[in-house]
Structure 1
Amino acid sequence: MRLNSADAGGAPWGDADVASTPGQKKAAANTIETELEPDTRKAGNWADDASGKAVTGFDGWDTAAGLKKVRETWESQVKTLMGRLSAEKGALRGAGGLFAQNDLATESAFKNGSKLNGL
């Protein structure tokens, strides 16, 4: 698709064609699910466990209170990151479905609404 106002060089991102890549979206969503989410969860748990031991080791000291606050902040950040990864995974999978539905609707509109049908 090319707009009348587009220069001869094509789109600024390098390709003059607009295209959807459902396979790449699915692959990216699968990478999030099989690699990023488990690895992030594992790293988050490791750091949480280590800081929990440090809090216990400094029990009774002001350092323990500081470490406890750091641990709470870390847990919150890991939870936020996990939520973001999950949202991105869902968006990638949803976008693939939306593009497919749009393509089918466009095809149907051309087939059913065209005055050229039957020529």
Structure 2
Amino acid sequence: MAWDEWEQTKADAAARQPSSTPLDQLAPAAGGGGVGRPDMAASPAAKKAAAKVIHDDLEPGVARDGKHAAESTNAAVKAFGAKDGSGWDTADALKRAHGTWEKQVKMLLGRLSSEKQALSATGIGLRNNDLDIATGLARRSRIHGI
């Protein structure tokens, strides 16, 4: 890539970058992701909704599409496989590639599951922490007759 092309590419990327999101400084004291942008914090209802989307849409979709890809790949492996004693190298390559892809799909499903559980448990964990702190403070409080 010539120097002029590189400079033009950088200028195009800078033009697409919102000017209100400088990456070299902290977020404003009031929070939020910049001018007119919402804060990154999510309400318990939003976390519950996100967990529901993972459970209802993403996990079943990944599993369904993974099954479809497995069936397609198996059909291709069979088509390229040995029919008269020797098959195409493509069949073995597809098997190896599919094995790697299958591991990635399993890892993705595991990650989605852990994210769903984390989203569901966040409110409970924070509430339990608050209760533990309140209990600890109440034991030391002189107001309660200690």
TM-score, structure 1 length as denominator? 0.74
Question: Which is higher, the Rg of structure 1 or of structure 2?
Answer: 2
| Pairs within 5 Å for 1:13-92 | 13=33, 21-59=43-81, 60-92=87-119
Deviation (angstroms), 1:102: 2.5
The one-letter code sitting in structure 1 at the alignment partner of 2:115 is E
Choose the corresponding residue for 2:127, options 100, 104, 108.
Answer: 100
The one-letter code sitting in structure 1 at the alignment partner of 2:106 is K
Deviation (angstroms), 1:95: 1.2
Q: Structure with the greater relative contact order (CA < 8 A, sep ≥ 6): 1 or 2?
A: 1
Distance of aligned partners of 1:23 and 1:109 in 2 relative to their CA distance in 1, 3 Å threshold = farther
* Corresponding residue of 1:10: 30
The one-letter code sitting in structure 1 at the alignment partner of 2:120 is R
Uncovered stretches (5+) of structure 1, i.e. residues with no partner: 1-7
* Superposed CA offset, 1:51-106 (max 9, x none): 01000000011110111111111111101100110111111112121112123345
The one-letter code sitting in structure 1 at the alignment partner of 2:97 is V
Q: CA RMSD in A?
A: 2.9
C-alpha distance in 1 between matches for 2:51 and 2:76:
36
- Equivalent pairs, count: 109
C-alpha distance in 2 between matches for 1:73 and 1:37:
19
C-alpha distance in 2 between matches for 1:22 and 1:108:
23
Uncovered stretches (5+) of structure 2, i.e. residues with no partner: 1-27, 82-86
